[in-house]
């Protein structure tokens, strides 16, 4: 990869990306629908929806502004709390956050479609090019941010509002992290994520250094150098490679990590015409995204292979329900022991587990010519090993509530801190850390 000094967020996406075939699972509102839905909002006091939002968007206020036709004010309310408000409108699991806590749920009436309303206002804001934020007066301080995902983007934008210089380093050649190359395309495609990022960067002064890894690796920017260049550091990197099962046959062709596969689908073209039956191993949200994506890419048979039972999946039930509606099946209580095939995977040899995930002694074989592993990702915390004052817990960076690590001037947020949560959590952690960094730099003085 070549090093770039560009501040443009717009790498050229190839036009034949596999994700292009997907339609929105939740289609956008037109004005009429938006106003009717917005008008249903009860404008709760001390609103439960806002309390459920990790970024604490004043939801009743932005919804009322849609109802009155004050779309600019509505979008300002959203972005002021969550600078990736357009992405979050699409990718947030609203069913378990704001919408899940709408008081209408207690009334036997449909909850307000907060995500769709948020999308309505933020889409218009981006289309119109409204700018709400200006960089603060130059403080002469500089912050280095590691990783160009939602946590760093949110932190960098907040820091620019405070007048600090910021530089984001990312080892990839595309910015936005998983929000760009990991989101299910029926929620958001890469170009939409990049469009929002370009809009965010219009605050100016966010220097993005792509193709530059930070850490102990060969060719990487060493942490010592990072610290020397900047007055504060924000660690906003994500997780590592897809975990593997460590079973025979895992190196066969046709066996891939799910996150890796999703990135290929989001950013590149795929030929899957030869796949008749695909299996996804896992029971979390990446696994559910993967089965829905495979189904959407036209694979006739897609099966979820999970050690536990349906009720015990860690993935969201509303997402799994949608997968079932789309025709995905599941093999519950199934522990892969080996991937079989000559050069290319043909089947999975599995042990049958009982409801307590204990082996029953039964064995069976499941045909599959494509297998995706969605059983977690490695933690990258070990990259920080040996940096004085930085503590790790199960690979996650340990911080206080504001993201401060034990090393003065070093902060962290997003997946490297929380172990892998939603975009909205990363935005919140980045924003909080930026506020703490601002206070730190101002106290530090000249």
Partner 1 sequence: MDGNQMKKPARVVPDLTTNCAGIVSPNPFWLASAPPTNSGPQIERAFEAGWGGAVWKTLGQPIQNVSSRFGGLNYGGKKNIGFNNIELITDRPLESNFREMLACKKKFPKHAVIASLMVETEAEWEEFIARSVDAGADGLELNFGCPHGMCERGMGSAVGQEPKVNERITSWAKKYAEKYKPGLPVLIKLTPNVGDILPHGHAAQRGGADGVSLINTIKSIIGVDIDNYVPYPRVGGQSTNGGYCGAAVKPIALHMVGQLARDPDFQIPISGIGGVATWRDAVEFILLGSTSVQVCTEVMLKGYRIVEDMIEGLTEYMATHGFETIDQMVGKAIPAYSEWGLLDLNYETVAKIDADKCIGCYDCVAACRDGAHQCIFPATDGTRVPTIDEDECVGCNLCQIVCPVVDCISMVEVDNGFGEATWNEAVAGEKTLRPKKGSH
- The secondary structure of 241-287 as a DSSP string is EEP----TTTTSBTEEEHHHHHHHHHHS----TT-SEEEEE-SSHHH
Would you give the distance in Å from CA 253 to the centre of its chain? 28
Burial of 131 per CB tally in 10 Å (0-12, 13-18, 19+): exposed
By CB under 8 A, name the one of 5, 24, 27, 42 that touches partner 1: 42
Of 98-106, 315-323, 408-416, 432-440, which part binds partner 1 (CB under 8 A)?
98-106
Binding mask 2-41 for partner 1 (x = CB under 8 A): ---------------------------------xx-xxx-
Q: Does 100 bind partner 1 (CB under 8 A)?
A: no
Q: Does 104 bind partner 1 (CB under 8 A)?
A: yes
Q: Does 71 bind partner 1 (CB under 8 A)?
A: no
DSSP 344: B
Nearer to partner 1, 48 or 268 (CB): 48
Query: Distance between CA 199 and CA 40 in Å, rounded?
Result: 31
Nearer to partner 1, 42 or 269 (CB): 42
DSSP 404: B
H helices of 171-222, in order, are 178-181, 190-201
Closest-CA residue to 319 (of 343, 284, 354, 362): 284
**Count of beta carbons in the 10 Å neighbourhood of residue 382:** 13
Nearer to partner 1, 39 or 314 (CB): 39
Least separation in angstroms between CB 32 and partner 1: 10
Closest-CA residue to 240 (of 380, 430, 80): 380
Of 8-16, 103-111, 219-227, 360-368, which part binds partner 1 (CB under 8 A)?
103-111
Nearer to partner 1, 102 or 371 (CB): 102
Least separation in angstroms between CB 47 and partner 1: 8
Element (H, E) at 14: none
By CB under 8 A, name the one of 26, 44, 322, 391 that touches partner 1: 44
By CB under 8 A, name the one of 96, 103, 270, 366 that touches partner 1: 103
Q: Does 395 bind partner 1 (CB under 8 A)?
A: no
Nearer to partner 1, 42 or 359 (CB): 42
Query: Distance between CA 392 and CA 84 in Å, rounded?
Result: 28
By CB under 8 A, name the one of 45, 218, 224, 246 that touches partner 1: 45
Size of interface with partner 1, in residues (CB under 8 A): 17
Least separation in angstroms between CB 127 and partner 1: 20
Nearer to partner 1, 14 or 68 (CB): 68
By CB under 8 A, name the one of 16, 30, 46, 388 that touches partner 1: 46
**Is residue 438 within 8 Å of residue 162, measured between CB atoms?**
yes
Expressed in angstroms, the distance from the first to the final Cα of the chain is 38
SS (H, E, C) 37-90: HHHHCCCCCCCHHHHHCCCCCCHHHHHHHHHCCCHHHHHHHHHHHCCCHHHHHH
Least separation in angstroms between CB 121 and partner 1: 16
Query: β-pairing, 377-379 with 410-412?
Result: unpaired
Closest-CA residue to 395 (of 423, 369, 372, 420): 420
Q: Does 48 bind partner 1 (CB under 8 A)?
A: yes
Query: Distance between CA 5 and CA 349 in Å, rounded?
Result: 49
Least separation in angstroms between CB 71 and partner 1: 15
Q: Does 43 bind partner 1 (CB under 8 A)?
A: yes
Query: β-pairing, 370-373 with 329-331?
Result: unpaired
Nearer to partner 1, 128 or 225 (CB): 128
Least separation in angstroms between CB 114 and partner 1: 15
Binding site for partner 1 (CB under 8 A): 35-36, 38-40, 42-48, 67, 103-104, 106-107
């Amino acid at each position: 990869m070549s090093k770039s000094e560009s501040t443009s967020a717009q790498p050229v996406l190839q036009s034949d990306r596999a994700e292009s075939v997907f339609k929105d699972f939740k289609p956008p509102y037109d004005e009429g629908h938006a106003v009717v839905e917005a008008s249903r909002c009860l404008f709760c006091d001390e609103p439960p929806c806002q309390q459920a939002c990790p970024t604490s968007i004043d939801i009743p206020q932005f919804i009322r502004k849609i109802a009155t036709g004050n779309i600019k004010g509505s979008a300002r309310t959203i972005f002021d709390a969550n600078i990736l408000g357009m992405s979050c409108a699409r990718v947030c699991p609203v069913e378990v956050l704001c919408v899940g806590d709408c008081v209408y749920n207690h009334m036997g009436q449909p909850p307000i479609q907060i995500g769709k309303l948020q999308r309505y206002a933020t889409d218009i804001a981006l289309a119109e090019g409204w700018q709400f934020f200006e960089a603060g007066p130059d403080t002469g301080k500089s912050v280095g941010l590691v990783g160009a995902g939602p946590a760093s983007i949110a932190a960098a934008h907040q820091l620019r509002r405070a007048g600090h210089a910021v530089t984001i380093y990312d080892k990839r050649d595309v910015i936005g992290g998983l929000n760009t190359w990991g989101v299910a395309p029926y929620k958001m495609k890469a170009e939409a994520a990049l469009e929002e990022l370009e809009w965010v960067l219009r605050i100016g002064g966010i220097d993005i250094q792509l193709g530059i890894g930070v850490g102990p690796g060969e060719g990487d920017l060493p942490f010592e150098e990072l610290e020397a260049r900047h007055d504060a550091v924000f660690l906003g990197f994500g997780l590592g490679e897809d975990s593997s099962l460590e079973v025979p046959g895992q190196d066969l062709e046709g066996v891939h990590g799910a996150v890796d596969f999703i990135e290929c689908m989001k950013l590149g073209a795929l030929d899957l015409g030869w796949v008749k039956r695909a299996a996804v191993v896992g029971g979390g949200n990446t696994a559910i995204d993967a089965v829905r994506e495979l189904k959407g890419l036209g694979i006739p048979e897609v099966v979820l292979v999970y050690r536990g039972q349906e009720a015990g999946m860690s993935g969201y039930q509303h997402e799994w329900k949608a997968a079932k509606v789309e025709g995905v099946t599941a093999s519950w209580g199934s522990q892969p022991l080996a991937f079989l095939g000559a050069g290319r995977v043909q089947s999975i040899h599995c042990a049958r587990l009982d409801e307590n995930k204990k082996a029953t002694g039964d064995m069976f074989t499941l045909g599959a010519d494509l297998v995706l592993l969605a059983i977690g990702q490695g933690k990258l915390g070990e990259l920080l090993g040996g940096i004085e004052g930085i503590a790790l817990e199960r690979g996650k960076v340990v911080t206080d509530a504001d993201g401060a690590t034990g090393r003065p001037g070093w902060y962290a947020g997003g997946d490297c801190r929380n172990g892998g949560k939603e975009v909205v959590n990363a935005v919140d952690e980045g924003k909080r850390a930026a506020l703490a960094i601002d206070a730190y730099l101002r106290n530090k003085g000249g």
